[in-house]
Structure 1
Amino acid sequence: MPVYQHNLKDKKIDFNTILDKVRVFAPATVANMICGFDILGFAVDEPGDEVKMYRVAEPGVRIRSIVGDGGRLPLGADRNTVSACVKMLLNDLGILQDIGVEIELIKHMPIGSGLGSSSASTVAGLFAINALLNNPLTKDELMPYCVEGERLACGHGHADNVAPALMGGITLVRGGADLDIVKIPVPKELYAGIVFPQVDVPTRDARQLIKEKVLLKDAVTQWGNIAGLVAGLFQEDYDLISRSMQDVIIEPSRAILIPEFYAMKEIALAHGALSFGISGSGPSVVAVSKGPEVAELVTTKIQDHLSANGIESFKYVSAVNVEGPKVLSFND
């Protein structure tokens, strides 16, 4: 692995305690939190992705099946981010030739939604292999492999999606090679109302619209907003959170890819949302609200507006998911 490599070969794996199978759910995420491009994000309760992992006799890592992707994701173990990252981890543990693993990936969330679809899958897979091995690694030790999954998926190893998906809650990403993941307190009434319009906004295209240079005055405004948002979260100050969640750098460029964006924003703010913006690279949008009632009202109003303009959409209303990935029963 590149700069995020960990030496895991001193980890001792007890093959007598390895499980036969495990089932894991990992949550969707809202990256950027409007003003924190590539450094802030939070997890939500739904949607998310699921991985079922089985120990088999034949050594190696294989994808057994993928459901819910419409045939878009590769089945090859070296090309799929889930299996490729599992292989990296097992290789660094020094046991890739000693264990056989087969994976079923169940996509419950849409690809290209701006909700961290690839991140949820990768996190589910890495959390699952760790659980199958009887949890020899901490979440901090799993994180570099999650970042590598993002590098494989979109060419850029950023952690604004995988960090909250793995750690749960709200996370701040500092640094590159010397990566720090900082957990931010979650105000108990903070809710997300997410609407996913059925339009296509590829992540790579959205990144190409971002300006390489910004005005100093805009940078200062954005820095102040990020600092104000973090302070507001620590203080549980919803007014400060609302004033701070403003994006003057990324949103103006990306909003042009999302039909009815400014109309949706006007609806959200008119009906009580603390703030409104793009989730990740879009096209999903998020209304950050105080309490579930406002989030429910805002998403309903936005869906009504989109429908009136001939655009289908999905909606999700969720508190911030503080748990992150979890092991599920096979009987559920």
Structure 2
Amino acid sequence: MKNVTAFAPATVANVSCGFDILGFAVEEMGDKVTVSLSDTPGVRVVRIEGDGGRLPYETDKNTCSVALKAFAEHIGFEGGLEIELFKGLPLGSGMGSSAASSVAALEAANVLLGNPLEKKDLLPFAMKAEGVACGAEHADNVAPSLLGGFVLIRSYHPLDVTKLHVPKGLYCTLVHPHFELNTADSRSVLRQQVSLKDAIIQSGNIAGLVAGLFQEDMGLISRSLQDVIAEPSRSVLIPGFDEVKNAVKDIGALGVGISGSGPTTFILSPAQDVAYAAKEACLKVFEKIGLDVDIYVSAVNTKGTYVINKS
């Protein structure tokens, strides 16, 4: 093989109560990356499409190259790798755009070099790229994009990640207003300390959500999709968030939350028809607001990143 192309999916991080420790992957939307062998030693970014000319080619700033440099150093690879990035996700959307890029690059490079590492062992290198992208080496986007499904990060030090059960029929509606919200800015509004009362409420909701997923208890999932820590501060930055919550509360949706750092909002539903009903309700909200919006309906992606071509 001389080159490998991989796809990595968009993700929803935090999932309301699980700030920096929960995330899940979605279908179809994502980034593609081709990694090729080169006679010139080192990692280079040679092509970027779909970003409107905004992403850097510098290897210490691009998430793909940051991840691959760390990966190559870890496995002792001293040859050359060239990266071509094809963006399918909007920047600053809250759908794990930077994560999908680095994960696709790592999957492609790992396969190209003969799979020296298990897929799960690629995670630390993707986290390094997240540190460059938003100032924090969190895993709630990169882990589900890499592994698929719902993922829990039990601990960062040491890193302890586990996949959770995905109930049958669970669907997600993603509502992306044409409005960009920088991750660093979204993190800057968060409280640095929380009350004991809020910590207890949030812990109960995290435990309830995990239990609800394994028991396929949609009622428990719904009751647990409550965030008393990040959402109160972040929701004021997101146009239409409160209106979306009100619009879908009577159609059978399980809950509404901020996808990652926003401005995308996610709506979890127990069935596909409810997810599409949520889409229609949200279209009416943004038509009234007068803001353009993209809305996607997707099942939870249990596959994660995968190779789509090698030659």
Query: TM-score with structure 1 length normalisation?
Result: 0.91
Q: Which runs of 4+ in 1 moved over 6 A?
A: none
SS in 2 for 1:270: coil
Q: Does 1:39 align with 2:26?
A: no
Separation in structure 2 between the aligned mates of residue 329 and residue 303 of structure 1, nearest angstrom: 36
Tell me the CA shift for residue 107 of structure 1.
Answer: 0.3
Q: Deviations over 1:192-225 (max 9, x none)?
A: 0001011121111111111112221121111101
Which residue is equivalent to 1:77? 59
Instruction: Give the aligned residue type for 1:72.
Output: R
Tell me the CA shift for residue 281 of structure 1.
Answer: 0.6
Instruction: Give the aligned residue type for 1:29.
Output: T
Q: Deviations over 1:113-136 (max 9, x none)?
A: 001100000000111100101211
Tell me the CA shift for residue 60 of structure 1.
Answer: 1.9
1:315 pairs, out of 295, 302, 305, with 295
Q: Deviations over 1:229-261 (max 9, x none)?
A: 000001010011011111122111101001121
Which residue is equivalent to 2:154? 174
Across the two proteins, how many residue pairs are aligned to each other?
A: 311
SS in 2 for 1:248: coil
Separation in structure 1 between the aligned mates of residue 61 and residue 232 of structure 2, nearest angstrom: 34
SS in 1 for 2:290: coil
Q: Does 1:125 align with 2:114?
A: no
Tell me, yes or no, if the aligned pair for 2:149 and 2:303 is still in contact at 8 Å. Answer: yes
Which residue is equivalent to 1:67? 49
Separation in structure 2 between the aligned mates of residue 80 and residue 249 of structure 1, nearest angstrom: 31
Tell me the CA shift for residue 83 of structure 1.
Answer: 1.1
Tell me, yes or no, if the aligned pair for 1:46 and 1:316 is still in contact at 8 Å. Answer: no
Separation in structure 2 between the aligned mates of residue 243 and residue 79 of structure 1, nearest angstrom: 40
Which residue is equivalent to 1:292? 272
2:72 pairs, out of 84, 90, 94, with 90
Tell me the CA shift for residue 46 of structure 1.
Answer: 3.0
Separation in structure 2 between the aligned mates of residue 281 and residue 239 of structure 1, nearest angstrom: 26
Q: Deviations over 1:29-54 (max 9, x none)?
A: 00011111110000001310000111
2:7 pairs, out of 22, 25, 31, with 25
Separation in structure 2 between the aligned mates of residue 87 and residue 198 of structure 1, nearest angstrom: 33
Question: Which is greater in Rg?
Answer: 1
Tell me, yes or no, if the aligned pair for 1:24 and 1:127 is still in contact at 8 Å. Answer: yes
Q: Percent identity?
A: 51
Q: Deviations over 1:132-164 (max 9, x none)?
A: 012111022211101111111111101111111
Tell me, yes or no, if the aligned pair for 2:7 and 2:306 is still in contact at 8 Å. Answer: yes
Tell me, yes or no, if the aligned pair for 2:75 and 2:116 is still in contact at 8 Å. Answer: no
Separation in structure 1 between the aligned mates of residue 189 and residue 41 of structure 2, nearest angstrom: 44
Separation in structure 2 between the aligned mates of residue 254 and residue 207 of structure 1, nearest angstrom: 8
Q: Does 1:134 align with 2:114?
A: yes
SS in 2 for 1:45: strand
1:211 pairs, out of 182, 191, 202, with 191
Tell me the CA shift for residue 166 of structure 1.
Answer: 0.6
Tell me the CA shift for residue 297 of structure 1.
Answer: 1.4
SS in 2 for 1:82: helix
Where does structure 2 lack aligned partners over 5 or more consecutive residues?
Answer: none
- Please identify, of 230-239 and 321-330, the stretch whose mean Cα deviation from structure 2 is larger: 321-330
SS in 1 for 2:108: helix
SS in 1 for 2:37: strand
Tell me the CA shift for residue 88 of structure 1.
Answer: 1.5
- Please identify, of 300-309 and 322-331, the stretch whose mean Cα deviation from structure 2 is larger: 322-331
Tell me the CA shift for residue 58 of structure 1.
Answer: 2.0
Tell me, yes or no, if the aligned pair for 1:27 and 1:324 is still in contact at 8 Å. Answer: yes
Q: Deviations over 1:69-117 (max 9, x none)?
A: 1111101222211012111211222222xx2211110000101000110
Q: Deviations over 1:283-326 (max 9, x none)?
A: 00011001111111102220221022110011111111000001
Where does structure 1 lack aligned partners over 5 or more consecutive residues?
Answer: 1-18
Separation in structure 2 between the aligned mates of residue 308 and residue 154 of structure 1, nearest angstrom: 33
Separation in structure 2 between the aligned mates of residue 220 and residue 284 of structure 1, nearest angstrom: 27
Separation in structure 2 between the aligned mates of residue 202 and residue 77 of structure 1, nearest angstrom: 21
After TM superposition, list the pairs within 5 Å mapping 1:106-125 onto structure 2: 106-125=86-105
Separation in structure 1 between the aligned mates of residue 146 and residue 56 of structure 2, nearest angstrom: 23
Which residue is equivalent to 1:326? 306
Separation in structure 1 between the aligned mates of residue 14 and residue 97 of structure 2, nearest angstrom: 15
SS in 2 for 1:329: strand
